[in-house]
Amino acid sequence: MVYSRLLRTHAFKVLPRIHVGFQARTVVSSSSLPPKRRFRRVVLLTTGATLTGSLLYYLSRDPDFVEEAEGAHEHLHPLAVHPKPGGIKNLPVVEHQLDERDQEQRKERLVIVGGGWAAVSILKSLEKDKYNVTVISNNNYFLFTPLLPSATVGTLEMRSLLEPLRKIVSRVKGHFLEAEAIDVDLDNKLVEVKGITESDNFYVPYDKLVVAVGATSITHGINGIEHTASLKTIRDAINIRRQVTDNVEKACYPTTTPEERKKLLSFVICGGGPTGVEFAAELFDWVNEDLVKWFPKVIRERVSITIIQSRDHILNTFDAKISEYAERRFNREKINVITNARVMRVDEDKVIYRYKDNGEDKYGEIPFGLCLWSTGIAMSPFAEMLTKKLNSQAHKRALRTDGFLRLKGVNDIFALGDCASIENPKLITHIMEIFEQADENHDGSLTKEEFKGAIAFMRKRFPLTEEHLTNLERLFSKYDFDKSGTLELEEMESMLKDIDSTMTDLPATAQVASQQGQYLGKYLSRLADVNSDESEVSRHVGPFHYRHFGTLAYLGNTAVGEFSKGYKMVGGLWALYLWRSVYWSEQVSMRTRMNLSLDWSKRALWGRDLSSV
């Protein structure tokens, strides 16, 4: 008893000291850790807790459990599966979509035909819940076209250039149809869509229609175009990659004759624009960096790359300094550039072209294993159909719109991108309006200050004129013929005639289409706010104004570029990374950005994939 009492007394005296001492040591130990170790400890604990929690979550899940889709039990409208017939052809009219929700409010129907740069830019800039949106496109993906040449030789994988359109359309809670739009019933505002068979065609009604169908390759009436390849779609890139690889493999056969081997390894590009030049550069990189490692030496020695250009320089839309640099580089790399030459005919295995020699027409021919046709664009079938329906559309290469991208000759239809062109204003027809607006003192002449007012008025009213109305001092001095310090009506007339003669259409580029899409998305959003009062929107939004940020082209482990305000980029490693950075930032999703980064990294570490699939 005495012993146990002493033991308990001793324990109560000792244990608190032990406990307190332990706490003190713990506190001192934690606070005395250096900041770096403390941070590392927090990171490790957080990471460990996250991984443990994730593992427990997935282990606890029932693998047979299937989550029901949102709205799975919502009532499907009868007209979504059994649409009533109507329209000029008495086809089913899709008043309700299969994925349409009961709670959707009645909104104006916005139908977008196309899934390229212009269409995607509209979807990304259009305010949500403004329209009942339906997108109709032949493909269920958006294709990043500027990097297509890189996909033809395996520098980039095909999937890295694609983003599902349904994901993009979901931003505006819209509907998507992977189908071909083939006609428009203008009177009843119906778009005819091609069904599984001709008897299954149907109509999609619209209140506002946007035509963004792109363009096709122009043939210039050349016979034999069917023997060439084009580079406008992902399927084109797949076919080119397969043919390039197959040609090289066949050239390795011991039974292949020298003549046949030369033909198989001859690659001809008709057209010296950015697409043709970039394909030639990518092909050269593939041969020089990958083919030499894995194929017989004789194959590399027999490969030939030829560009046939109708103008006096390749990349002729760029500054002369850039064109000359590209030609010097290609000459050094043994890429044959033939300028001032026109393709006359394309046979199954050779190109016949005409060129000048001392003023005389001469003809040459080049056998090929692959011929790429990249010489410009022509109207798509849908745009051509609209042109025939509208008397106001007389242009043969593109649909004509006004400055607000409204199709001329019809209401509630907009057109943009490669399929359309903004009609250049004839300034001379507005001379009296411009002159009287600027002549504040009504003395029949314009002072320098009044002239600046006239220029400001023209820039705002006709945005396409802006690049022709720079350096006002020089412009004023040039047309002040009598050096009176003022511009008379006749002198102003002379200036406007000269500007009219030099104005050209906007280039058919992704940059233009993207900016037009952003503009139209905002325009349509504003239009919905004011109940389709176009005069109100036109006054507040103003006409489309294009800002040229620059043009880039890949030249093989380097790049060239021409930017606004006269800045130029001519070669160098930094140019390559700037080129990559620009296109990386222009991607429509983080997924494709990550894919591009991985593809460029894989290429640097292990080279390109030589497989043919």
Report the distance separating Cα 562 and Cα 584, nearest Å: 18
Report the distance separating Cα 241 and Cα 149, nearest Å: 10
Determine the residue type at 611: S
Determine the pLDDT at residue 28.
Answer: 44
Q: Look at the domain 225-375+549-606 and name its fold.
A: FAD/NAD(P)-binding domain (3.50.50)
Beta bridge partners of 371: 268
Beta bridge partners of 379: 215
Strand-by-strand arrangement of the 304-308 sheet: 336-338, 304-308, 266-270, 370-373
Determine the pLDDT at residue 27.
Answer: 44
Determine the pLDDT at residue 441.
Answer: 85
- CATH topology agreement for domains 77-138+179-218+376-424+511-544 and 225-375+549-606: yes
CATH class held by domain 77-138+179-218+376-424+511-544? alpha beta
Determine the pLDDT at residue 74.
Answer: 55
Determine the pLDDT at residue 467.
Answer: 67
Report the distance separating Cα 500 and Cα 493, nearest Å: 11
Determine the pLDDT at residue 275.
Answer: 95
Phi-psi region of 315 (alpha: psi -120 to 50; beta: other; left: phi over 0): left
Determine the pLDDT at residue 23.
Answer: 44
Is 286 in contact with 153 (CB distance < 8 Å)? yes
Determine the pLDDT at residue 344.
Answer: 96
Mean pLDDT by 10 residues, the chain (613 residues): 46 44 45 72 82 75 54 61 87 85 74 97 94 96 97 96 96 95 96 91 96 92 94 96 95 94 97 96 95 90 95 92 95 95 95 90 95 92 93 83 91 94 82 85 87 84 73 82 87 84 81 96 92 81 88 94 87 93 95 97 92 78
Q: Pick one of 2.40.30.10, 3.50.50.60, 1.10.238.10, 3.40.190.10 as the CATH number of 425-503.
A: 1.10.238.10
- From the list 240, 242, 127, 228, the residue with the least C-alpha distance to 173 is 127
Report the distance separating Cα 268 and Cα 289, nearest Å: 20
DSSP character string of 233-294: SHHHHHHHHHHHHHHHHHHT-TT--HHHHHHHTEEEEE--SHHHHHHHHHHHHHIIIIIHHH
What are the residue boundaries of the structural domains of the chain, listed by start? 1-36, 77-138+179-218+376-424+511-544, 225-375+549-606, 425-503
The structure's pTM equals: 0.81
